[in-house]
Amino acid sequence: MTHWIVTGGCGFIGSNFIRLALTRQDDLRITNVDLLTYAGNRENLNDIEGTNERYQFVQADIADREALVSLFEGFSRPDAVLNFAAESHVDRSISDPGRFISTNIVGTAHLLELARDAGVPRFLQVSTDEVYGSLGADGKFTEESHIQPNSPYSASKASADLLARAAFHTFGQDVVVTRCSNNYGPYQFPEKLIPLMIVNAMHDQSLPVYGDGKNVRDWIHVEDHCEAILRVLDDGKAGAVYNIGSDNEWENISIVKEILRLLDKPESLIEFVIDRPGHDRRYAIDSSRMNNELNWHATRDFSRGLEETVAWFRENEAWWKPLLKG
């Protein structure tokens, strides 16, 4: 039976990935390693834990090397490591960059070393388009774009990517890196833009929008992202970087207005606030390598996906409401 270690599997993207992977592959066993920080919620996988014998949860900090050693020894040696684990919220990285350095850089270094020493056949580093910095009005990020991170979060992720690159070029380790655009969908922590706006609008609370609201992001449904990761894991070229996006750019303010429309709430709830320090103006991803080399394309329509996401948060208050108290 195939065995993968998935780190950060109780987070938004990781939990969606585990659910999809176990559904797609009957011969797959997954060990999910998660510290369960603010954005890691074990309840994200309640439908799997305890009911699927091919799933195992281990609570551990990837920055604690000794806590990980046993996962890579003996008969438990995995066939792949997929590193989703990351501190990911830009605002939190500004107030506490040390935690991001520990998890995103030190943790990745430990995982790469342990996987290399254990002879793990493939290591997949899940990264972000934010490592590229900010775009002007035109153009898109390609895998050859310069890395120019502008926040402690994106700098820590860029550092992790470079460690993965070094592992390939120095040690010949089979490493692939994915860099994805903004995700949305079920189980997203409610401090992120789309769920925050949904939750606030549902309760007739103000919707805080940074600056003039015209920052542009390329949005992709989390399930499209997860399917892309499966494709890269299976067929990606060792040492390569793969950009994952859906060619779906929206200004933040337009997203907010669309959410208000779906919830039949007034635009008077919008409140423009002081812009975030170092706030990148625009991201846009060129996914040509994914399209041409791996025959992958995003398939989910954004308008329908956003409507389904709004409905999911309306129907799952018992999931997200306790998180607001944390």
Catalytic positions? 129-130, 153
Asked if residues 6 and 17 have their Cβ atoms less than 8 Å apart, the reply is yes
| Alpha carbon distance 196, 155 (integer Å) | 24
Specify the 3-state DSSP secondary structure of 234: helix
Kindly provide the residue ranges of all beta strands, DSSP E only, lying in 150-308, ordered along the sequence: 175-180, 182-184, 207-210, 216-221, 241-244, 249-251, 270-273
- Around Cβ 188, how many Cβ atoms within 10 Å? 24
Q: Side chain identity at 274, as an amino acid letter?
A: I
Q: For residue 54, which of 18, 8, 84, 90 has the smallest C-alpha distance?
A: 18
**Strand partners of residue 31:** 5, 56
Phi-psi category of residue 312: left, alpha or beta, with phi > 0 → left and psi -120 to 50 → alpha: alpha
